[in-house]
């Protein structure tokens, strides 16, 4: 197990689907139409919602977003407070999602090409952002030159794929996405070379698509190559399972967290305290895992949890549970959307259509997550099952935090805080409301509003010049 890169503890990730975020250089999709229509694509107006088509033909619908557009939206990202940007794939590909790569060393001209990528990397770095790319290394496009040659019987390339008497192995049996044969040395070295190439250009990490299909061995090989460039480079893999057991990488996309939290808040009979505690205790690299509530592969959060107060509770857990919060573009302004492609609608830039109260809520949580030591590296200790209350114990007692989440009616709880360093009479400050609650004899009594929460930080009040924590740490 590699040490988690230090910057990861300070991070809040923002996920962008490039075709749907912003069009740069003052252009519209019509100005760029030839980039799409010449390759069999259809262009759509920005305010037209995506809709599923028979045979997944919607993957050929394009809105015109590009890397130039992301660069121009840096002020928006800075104002929101995120500091890491993860983009879905950007390499040459026939589809709008680009999970079917034709050339790993060419950024798709639809996104501005290699020139736009160079500018994107430079400007994001200049403004203090970390950059994570999406690596699709399990499979490729059937239009990749090597696969086309293999189909024609070129013996030099046949071994790079898995052929049967009546076809070839493809991801999830989608024939347009043949799988790489990672056991072939030339394939392995080629793909690991791609991994290293972009790290040396300056990206900070990789997200590995369908990491569960790559398997343990290939995840480990990729991680080894990543860490050979620098231990401060980051690799996260996509798995849809209990998070433990993937210690060969820095973390996973924690869909277990998503299913647990959303199921609990939707009223399913989930012991959320036990599930979250078990995942924390069993997952050695939990601090490097991504706390996800939605993504390009799931319905949007506002669609799954239309009750805004319950949605806020999910977001509180996303930012206070160990791991790295990942915000899917537009979720912070209340964008809705069902399954793919509805969840991949163009970003709304008309501020009159934003849920600004929700966006401000995100901004405050992002600020706290980046500021509070306990939320970055603190332990996770359940204090009460229902309502859920947990303790994020920090190395220094005065940095510790108690979090309470109540999905039901108003309630009061009396909590035993298992930290002998906390002295009687110490106030806990609610970081959202400014209210104070006092611990006496190790017991903390708090009230929690209906469908409400508390984020309580230990504070030290020096009284008439006397500091009771003068010899306590």
User: How confident is the model over 447-456, as pLDDT tens digits?
Assistant: 999 999 999 9
Q: Residue 42: what pLDDT?
A: 97
- Is residue 162 a part of any domain in this protein? no
φ, ψ of residue 468 to 5 degrees: the values are -70, -15
- Is residue 171 a part of any domain in this protein? no
Verify that 327 and 422 share a domain, yes or no.
no
Q: How many structural domains compose the chain?
A: 2
DSSP state of 64: -
Torsion of CA 64, 68, 74, 75, to 10 degrees: -80
CATH of the domain at 267: 3.20.20.80
Q: Kindly state the average pLDDT of the residues 72-88.
A: 98
Q: Residue 462: what pLDDT?
A: 87
- Is residue 221 a part of any domain in this protein? yes
Average pLDDT, the chain: 97
- Is residue 1 a part of any domain in this protein? no
Alpha-carbon span 24 to 64, nearest angstrom: 9
Q: Kindly state the average pLDDT of the residues 382-392.
A: 98
Verify that 392 and 357 share a domain, yes or no.
no
Verify that 351 and 388 share a domain, yes or no.
no
Verify that 40 and 100 share a domain, yes or no.
yes
Residue-range definition of the domain harbouring residue 437: 381-458
Verify that 323 and 416 share a domain, yes or no.
no
Verify that 358 and 397 share a domain, yes or no.
no
CATH of the domain at 388: 2.60.40.1180
User: Among residues 423, 407, 416, 424, which one has the least CA distance to residue 381?
Assistant: 416
Q: Residue 189: what pLDDT?
A: 98
Verify that 282 and 413 share a domain, yes or no.
no
Q: Residue 389: what pLDDT?
A: 98
Span 280-328, pLDDT tens digits:
999 999 999 999 999 999 999 999 999 999 999 999 999 999 999 999 9
Verify that 327 and 409 share a domain, yes or no.
no
Q: Kindly state the average pLDDT of the residues 245-268.
A: 97
**Residue 464 — very low, low, confident or very high, per pLDDT cuts 50/70/90?**
confident
Verify that 348 and 280 share a domain, yes or no.
yes
Alpha-carbon span 291 to 324, nearest angstrom: 6
Q: What is the pTM of this model?
A: 0.97
Span 96-110, pLDDT tens digits:
999 999 999 999 999
Tell me if 370 sits within 8 A of 81, measured CB to CB. yes
Is the sign of the CA dihedral 377, 391, 311, 341 positive or negative? positive
CB under 8 Å to 67, separation ≥6 — which residues?
18, 24, 90, 107, 111, 112, 116, 117, 119, 120
Catalytic residues, by residue number, are: 209, 238
Verify that 81 and 128 share a domain, yes or no.
yes
- Is residue 163 a part of any domain in this protein? no
- Strand blocks (E) in 224-310: 234-237, 251-254, 290-292
Q: Residue 50: what pLDDT?
A: 98
- Is residue 464 a part of any domain in this protein? no
Verify that 340 and 389 share a domain, yes or no.
no
CB under 8 Å to 288, separation ≥6 — which residues?
4, 5, 8, 234, 236, 249, 250, 251, 323, 324
Q: Residue 277: what pLDDT?
A: 98
Verify that 243 and 106 share a domain, yes or no.
yes
Domain boundary among 329, 344, 371: 371
DSSP state of 288: G
Alpha-carbon span 378 to 401, nearest angstrom: 8
**Residue 466 — very low, low, confident or very high, per pLDDT cuts 50/70/90?**
confident
- Helix, strand, coil abundance in the chain, percent, nearest 5: 35, 20, 40
- Is residue 412 a part of any domain in this protein? yes
Q: Residue 463: what pLDDT?
A: 85
Domain boundary among 352, 371, 390: 371
Span 141-168, pLDDT tens digits:
999 999 999 999 999 999 999 999 999 9
Does 467 or 14 have the greater pLDDT score?
A: 14
Domain boundary among 321, 342, 371: 371
φ, ψ of residue 413 to 5 degrees: the values are -135, 150
- Is residue 471 a part of any domain in this protein? no
What's the distance, Cα to Cα, between the start and end of the chain in Å?
30
Span 341-368, pLDDT tens digits:
999 999 999 999 999 999 999 999 999 9
């Amino acid at each position: 197990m590699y040490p988690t890169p230090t910057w990861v503890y300070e991070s809040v990730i923002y996920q962008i689907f490039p075709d749907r975020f912003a069009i740069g250089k003052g252009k519209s999709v019509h100005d760029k139409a030839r980039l799409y229509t010449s390759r069999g694509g259809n262009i759509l107006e920005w305010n037209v919602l995506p809709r599923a088509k028979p045979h997944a033909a919607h993957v050929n619908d394009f809105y015109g977003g590009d890397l130039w557009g992301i660069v121009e939206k840096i002020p928006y990202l800075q104002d929101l407070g995120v500091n890491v940007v993860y983009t879905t794939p950007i390499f040459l590909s026939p589809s709008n999602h680009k999970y079917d790569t034709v050339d790993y060393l060419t950024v798709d001209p639809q996104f501005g090409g290699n020139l736009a990528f160079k500018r994107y990397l430079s400007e994001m770095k200049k403004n203090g952002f970390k950059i994570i790319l999406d690596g699709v290394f399990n499979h490729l496009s059937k239009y990749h030159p090597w696969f086309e040659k293999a189909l024609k019987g070129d013996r030099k390339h046949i071994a790079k794929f898995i052929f049967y008497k009546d076809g070839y192995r493809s991801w999830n049996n989608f024939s347009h996405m043949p799988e790489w044969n990672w056991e072939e040395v030339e394939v392995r070295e080629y793909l690991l070379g791609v991994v290293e190439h972009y790290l040396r250009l300056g990206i900070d990490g990789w997200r590995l698509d369908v990491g569960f299909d790559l398997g343990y061995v290939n995840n480990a090989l990729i991680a080894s190559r990543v860490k050979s460039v620098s231990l401060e480079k980051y690799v996260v893999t996509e798995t849809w399972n209990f998070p433990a057991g993937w210690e060969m990488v820095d973390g996973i996309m924690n869909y277990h967290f998503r299913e647990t939290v959303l199921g609990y808040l939707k009223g399913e009979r989930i012991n959320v305290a036990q599930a979250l505690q078990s995942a924390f205790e069993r997952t050695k690299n939990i601090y490097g895992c991504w706390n996800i509530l939605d993504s390009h592969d799931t319905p949007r959060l506002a669609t799954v949890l239309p009750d805004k107060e319950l949605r806020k509770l999910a977001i509180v857990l996303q930012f206070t549970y160990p791991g790295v919060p990942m915000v899917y573009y537009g979720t912070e302004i209340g964008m809705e959307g069902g399954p793919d492609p509805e969840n991949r609608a163009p970003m709304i830039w008309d501020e009159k259509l934003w849920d600004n109260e929700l966006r401000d809520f995100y901004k405050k949580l992002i600020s706290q997550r980046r500021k509070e030591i306990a939320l970055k590296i603190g332990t996770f200790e359940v204090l009460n099952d229902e309502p859920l209350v947990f303790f994020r114990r920090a190395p220094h007692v005065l940095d510790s935090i108690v979090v309470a989440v109540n999905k039901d009616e108003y309630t009061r709880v009396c909590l035993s805080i298992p930290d002998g360093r906390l002295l009687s009479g110490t106030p806990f400050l609610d970081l959202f409301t400014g209210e104070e609650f006092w611990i006496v004899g190790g017991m903390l009594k708090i009230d929690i509003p209906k469908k409400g929460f508390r984020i309580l930080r230990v504070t030290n009040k020096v009284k008439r010049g006397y500091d009771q924590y003068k010899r306590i740490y």
